[in-house]
Amino acid sequence: MSERTPYPSDLSDEQWSLIEPVITAWKARHRSVSGHQGAYTMREIVNAILYQGRTGCQWAYLPHDLPPKSATYYYFAIWRDDGTDQVIHELLRCQVREKTRRLEDPTLVVLDTQSVHVAAGVPAGTTGRDPAKKVPGRKRGLAVDVLGLVIAVTILAASAHDNAAGIALLNQVAEHTGETVEKALVDQGFKNRVVAHGSSLGIDVEIVERNPQETGFVPQPKRWRVEQTYGILILHRRLVRDYEHRLSSSASRVYWAMTHVMVRRLTGANTPTWRDAEAVMA
């Protein structure tokens, strides 16, 4: 790594060692015809992606001591398109579960959606208005395990029904975990179509009904984990709203954010919040 003052989002040596084997193997499969290794190290490329995800800055505003947009976006896009971002994420997810003495793949998942505003310039054809939450933008769907780790991600227009998100998530869950997942918990925004689709995949989908006597936000057993994950993701400012032109880029941002969370969990590092940073400055 080049000599520079590190950013809080930078990977430590221990954290980089968790990701480096996947990147090194990828690099070995994609050798330059000319033999040129590039002007920037792969660690600095990953640091730039994580910096942008954490701070939410525009591509052109990446600091001058990090690789520029031309290099950083090249790798972000190619790893998005060939699934390398998901390979890294899945490797770390399995390690986090094993560290807590669990099997690599879960038997239960929790599904939920979140509608977020989009930035100016995001293609209108990929957005819509959520009629229930009154939010114009995109719908971010997650399937998480009981540790809050992401199993599947789907990005849709906010106008899409939760059923569409639920079906897409269940398909991914079945693909990524084989036959290990037996049950999925969802809220009342999901309907019988999702239950029927889960049944066809061998997954028992339970619609968890809210107690009508309860008011305000009341955490529900096990289902609160997905709410916690959404809260953690929002610490990454690039996810506060959707800035991405491509839906696949939006999903990739979730994978990179969770990768950042998991390397910290695996190395025992605390995840700083913006409130912590403000306290330090005060």
pLDDT-above-90 percentage for the chain: 80
State the pairing for strand pair 135-144/108-116: antiparallel
- Residue 104 has a CB neighbour count (10 Å cut-off) of 12
Q: What is the pLDDT of residues 165-186, one digit of tens each?
A: 999 999 999 999 888 999 999 9
Q: How many Å apart are CA 272 and CA 261, to the nearest integer?
A: 11
- Domain limits of the chain? 103-211+219-242
Pair of tokens at residue 249: 């880029």
pLDDT in tens, 123-138: 999 999 999 889 999 9
Q: How many residues does the chain have?
A: 282
User: From the CB of residue 87, how many other CB atoms can be counted at a distance below 10 Å?
Assistant: 16
Pick the CATH number of 103-211+219-242 from 3.40.50.720, 3.30.70.1560, 3.40.50.410, 3.30.420.10: 3.30.420.10
Q: Is the pLDDT of residue 218 over 90?
A: no
Give dist(CA 253, CA 85) in Å, integer: 9
Better-scored residue on pLDDT, 147 or 36: 147
